[in-house]
A and B are shown apart, each in its own frame.
Chain A
Amino acid sequence: MSIMVENMKEKILEIKDLTIHYIIEDSVVKAVNNLSLDLNRGETLGLVGETGAGKTTTALGIMRLVPDPPGQIIGGKILLNGENLLEKSEREMRKIRGNKISMIFQDPMTSLNPVTTVGDQIAEIIRVHEKISRAEAHIKAKEMLELVGIPENRFSEYPNQFSGGMRQRVVIAIALACNPELLLADEPTTALDVTIQAQVLDLMNKLKEEFNTSMILITHDLGVVAETCDKVAIMYAGEILEYGTLDDIYNNTLHPYTKGLFGSIPDLYRETKRLNPIPGTIPDPTNLPPGCTFAPRCTHKKPECEIHRPSLKQISDTHKVKCILYDV
C-alpha cells in the first residue's frame, strides 16, 4: 500500500546510471559512477558525503555545467519531468538554467558579480527568461529582495556592502527569481557562522514551502540535513551507498559508512569519551578499489567485499542500501 503511495508522488527528477569522469593527463578521475537517484516534487533531498565523494560533480552534471575538457559525461540519463537533459542542446539548456533549475554555490563572496548592484543581478536573470520590461523586472527584483529579508531600498547597493549572510540571501533571491522547479544548493551555509546559518536555513525552508520548490541540498553536515531534508542519499566515491527518508537514515542506519559518519560526530547532549572515527582515508578516485569502494575502511568487511561490487538493494519502499550485509 505504501509502495503505491510513494510511487504516486510525482517525480520531478530521475537520475539513472549517471557516470562522469575527468580525464587529466594520463589518469581518469572517476568522479561519479553509475549514480541513480530520484526526487519527488516538493521534496528536499540531502546529498551527503565528504570531500571528493562527487556531490558537486553530480550537481554540475544536472546543470550540464561539468567543465569539458577535462570532464565528460560518459553515460546515463537525467530526466527532468521525463525529459532527458543530457540530450538537450546547449541553447535549450540555457533556457533551463536559472529558470527551471537553479544552483546556489558555497561561497557567497565569489558567487556575486562585484561590479553590478544586487538589484540588477536579480533583475538580469528575470529578464533573461521572461519577456518583460526593465521597469517591471526591477519591481520583481525588489519583491525578491523583500522576500529574502533584505530591505528593498538596498536594491542599488553592491555585493561588497553586504555581509556574508546577506550576500547568500541575495544569491538565494537570484536563484528563486524565476520560480524554478528544482533548486540545487551546494553547501549553501558551510561558509557562514552558525547563527547566520540558522537564519539562512530558516529562510530556505520558508521559501521552499511557499513556492513548493524541490531541492537537492548538498552538505557534509548531518545536522543541517536533519533540519531541512525529507530524503537523504549518502554518497561515497561517486556512488550512492544508502538512500532513504530522514527516519530511515537516522533511526535505522544500515550502511557501515553511514554508521561511521554518525559515530564521528561529537554529540552535543551526551558525554562521549572518545569518538569512533572511520579508519583510513577516502580512496583515490583515479584508482578505485575493485569490489566495494568502502571495503578498505569497513569494520564489517568480508572477503567477498573486495571482489564483488554490491548493487543497490531495496530494503523497504523508501530505504535502499548498497552493502553485502543486506543482500538477502
Chain B
Amino acid sequence: METLIEVKNLKKYFKTPNGMLQAVDDISFNIEKGKTLGVVGESGCGKSTLGRVILHLLDPTNGEIYFKGKNITNINKNELKSLRKHMQMIFQDPFSSLNPRKTVSEIIAEPLQIYKVYKTKKELSEKVAELMDKVGLASRLENSYPHELDGGRRQRIGVARAIALNPDFIVCDEPVSALDVSIQAQILNLLQDLQEELNLTYMFISHDLSVVKHISDNICVMYLGKLVEISPSNTLFNNPLHPYTQALLSAIPIPKVRPKEEKKDRIILKGEITSPINPKPGCRFAPRCLYARETCSEEEPKLVEFEKDHFVACHYVADINN
C-alpha cells in the first residue's frame, strides 16, 4: 500500500506572553493512499493545529512532513502553490469559511481560476455545474449567497471547493460538528462516496468519536499536543489501551436505554485539562489519570507498538489492561 502522507516528529509551538504553547508536540504517523485517518481529541489537544501545519497554513516549528515520499517541510512559495493543488481542506464552520460576498458558483470556481485550469468561461462553468451536481447542490442555487442557504448546503459548497482541483489529500476539520444530526449523516455519506469515486485520502478531525469511528480506517487519539494512542478503527473501540481513550469512550452518552447499573461503569475523569503552555515534565495526562504513579510525572511515555498496528504511549499500559 502506498503511503501518501508521512509525518515525523512534528512540532508546532506558539510563543505566548505566558510561555511556549506546545500545541503539537512530537507527532508521527502515516496515512496510506485511499484511507482515512481519524484524529480525535478534546479542545486544546492540537488536532486542528496539526491539520493546518500539514497543509502549510501554519509553519512547523520542527519535524518533517512527506507527501508521496517527497519532503515538503521546507518548500518555497512556488513549490507550495503547486503543492496546494494536491492537498485541500474542508472547514468546520459552514458560514465563516465561505466569503459572504461571493455566490455559490464564484466560490466553487475560484480554485479553478487561480490555477487557470480552463481556458474558456464555458468550460469553467460546465465544471462548476458538474461539481455542484457531484456534491448534491441544485443547479438553481448557483447565484445564491451563502447566507441564503442552510448549514448543510453551505457545507456542500465547501466540499465542492475542496475537490475542485482533484486533490489527492483532504484534511476535514470537524466538517460536520456544526450541523444537525440528519444533515451530518448526509454529509458523511457524501464524503464517503467521494472518497470511493475520486480515490481520496482523508485526515478526519473531530471530537465526536462515533462519527470518527464510522468514517475512519485508523484512528489516533490526541491529548494536549501528544499522540497517546493510534490503531485501526475497530481495534480502538474493542480494545482501548490508553486510560484517556478508555475515559473518552466511556464518557460518550449512548443512545440506548440501559439499566442504571451499567451506567455506573462510567469512568469520570477528575479535574480539568492542564495547560499546554510550559507543560510539566512527564506524561501530560498524569494529573487526571486514575492509574498515575510516580514515574508518570517524571518521564514522558513513548509511543510503543503494544500489539500489531496498535500503538500506545503509557508507562503502565500492560498493568492497566490486565
A and B in contact, CB less than 8 Å: yes
Give A contacts to B, CB under 8 Å. 50-51, 163-166, 193-199, 201-202, 220-227, 246-247, 250-251, 260-269, 271-272, 274-279, 281-282
In the complex, what residues of A have CB within 8 A of residue B234's CB? 271
Q: Does B4 contact A (CB under 8 A)?
A: no
- With A226-B255, A266-B214, A269-B237 known as contacts, the answer to whether A198 contacts B266 (CB < 8 A) is yes
Nearest 5 CB-CB pairings of A with B: A223-B253, A277-B185, A266-B214, A222-B255, A193-B42
| Contact present for B255 and A265 (CB under 8 Å) | yes
| Contact present for B182 and A264 (CB under 8 Å) | yes
Nearest residue, chain B, Cβ from A201 = B253
Q: Does B248 contact A (CB under 8 A)?
A: yes
- With A50-B180, A266-B213, A274-B189 known as contacts, the answer to whether A195 contacts B251 (CB < 8 A) is yes
In the complex, what residues of A have CB within 8 A of residue B150's CB? 281-282
B240-258 vs A: 1/0 string, CB under 8 Å? 0000000111111111111
Chain B 262-277 interface residues, beta-carbon cutoff 8 Å to A: 263, 266, 268-269, 272-273
- With A165-B272, A264-B182 known as contacts, the answer to whether A198 contacts B251 (CB < 8 A) is yes
| Contact present for A265 and B210 (CB under 8 Å) | yes
Chain B 159-192 interface residues, beta-carbon cutoff 8 Å to A: 180-186, 188-189, 192
Contact with B248, one of A194, A247, A282 (Cβ below 8 angstroms): A194
Nearest residue, chain A, Cβ from B43 = A193
Number of residue pairs spanning A and B whose beta carbons lie under 8 angstroms apart: 118
Query: What are 9 A-B pairs at a CB distance below 8 A?
Result: A50-B181, A194-B207, A194-B252, A222-B255, A226-B258, A247-B257, A251-B257, A264-B182, A281-B150
| Contact present for B182 and A50 (CB under 8 Å) | yes
Give B contacts to A, CB under 8 Å. 42-43, 150-153, 180-186, 188-189, 192, 207-211, 213-214, 234, 237, 247-258, 263, 266, 268-269, 272-273
Nearest residue, chain A, Cβ from B211 = A266
In the complex, what residues of B have CB within 8 A of residue A266's CB? 188, 210-211, 213-214
| Contact present for A226 and B189 (CB under 8 Å) | no
A190–B146 Cα gap in the complex (Å)?
25
In the complex, what residues of B have CB within 8 A of residue A164's CB? 43
| Contact present for A194 and B42 (CB under 8 Å) | yes
A224–B152 Cα gap in the complex (Å)?
23
- With A193-B43, A195-B247, A261-B181 known as contacts, the answer to whether A275 contacts B214 (CB < 8 A) is yes
In the complex, what residues of B have CB within 8 A of residue A277's CB? 182-186, 189
A223–B253 Cα gap in the complex (Å)?
4
A226–B209 Cα gap in the complex (Å)?
17
In the complex, what residues of B have CB within 8 A of residue A247's CB? 257
- With A194-B248, A274-B189 known as contacts, the answer to whether A261 contacts B182 (CB < 8 A) is yes
In the complex, what residues of B have CB within 8 A of residue A276's CB? 185
A257 to chain B, nearest CB (A): 9
| Contact present for B181 and A264 (CB under 8 Å) | yes
A278–B183 Cα gap in the complex (Å)?
8
A248 to chain B, nearest CB (A): 10
| Contact present for A268 and B213 (CB under 8 Å) | yes
In the complex, what residues of B have CB within 8 A of residue A274's CB? 189, 192
| Contact present for A250 and B255 (CB under 8 Å) | yes
Nearest residue, chain B, Cβ from A53 = B180
In the complex, what residues of A have CB within 8 A of residue B209's CB? 194, 268
A150–B204 Cα gap in the complex (Å)?
36
A315–B210 Cα gap in the complex (Å)?
33
| Contact present for A250 and B182 (CB under 8 Å) | no
In the complex, what residues of B have CB within 8 A of residue A260's CB? 182
Nearest residue, chain B, Cβ from A220 = B181
| Contact present for B268 and A268 (CB under 8 Å) | no
Contact with A275, one of B185, B208, B256 (Cβ below 8 angstroms): B185
- Chain A CB within 10 A, most for which of B182, B208, B211, B252: B182
Nearest residue, chain B, Cβ from A191 = B43
B317 to chain A, nearest CB (A): 19
| Contact present for B182 and A221 (CB under 8 Å) | no
- With A260-B182, A277-B182, A278-B182 known as contacts, the answer to whether A166 contacts B255 (CB < 8 A) is no
| Contact present for B269 and A199 (CB under 8 Å) | yes
| Contact present for B189 and A275 (CB under 8 Å) | yes
| Contact present for B184 and A193 (CB under 8 Å) | no
| Contact present for A195 and B213 (CB under 8 Å) | no
| Contact present for B269 and A195 (CB under 8 Å) | yes
- Chain A CB within 10 A, most for which of B151, B213, B214, B248: B214
A278–B258 Cα gap in the complex (Å)?
26
In the complex, what residues of A have CB within 8 A of residue B269's CB? 195, 198-199
B206 to chain A, nearest CB (A): 11
In the complex, what residues of A have CB within 8 A of residue B151's CB? 51
A21 to chain B, nearest CB (A): 21
B310 to chain A, nearest CB (A): 18
B284 to chain A, nearest CB (A): 14
| Contact present for A224 and B211 (CB under 8 Å) | no
- With A194-B207, A195-B247, A275-B214 known as contacts, the answer to whether A265 contacts B257 (CB < 8 A) is no
| Contact present for A267 and B210 (CB under 8 Å) | yes
In the complex, what residues of A have CB within 8 A of residue B254's CB? 223, 226-227, 268
| Contact present for B185 and A264 (CB under 8 Å) | yes
A277–B256 Cα gap in the complex (Å)?
19
Nearest residue, chain A, Cβ from B270 = A199
Nearest residue, chain B, Cβ from A162 = B272
A175 to chain B, nearest CB (A): 21
A227–B254 Cα gap in the complex (Å)?
7
Contact with A163, one of B153, B181, B210, B273 (Cβ below 8 angstroms): B273
| Contact present for B183 and A268 (CB under 8 Å) | no
In the complex, what residues of B have CB within 8 A of residue A224's CB? 253
Nearest residue, chain A, Cβ from B215 = A266
| Contact present for B251 and A194 (CB under 8 Å) | yes
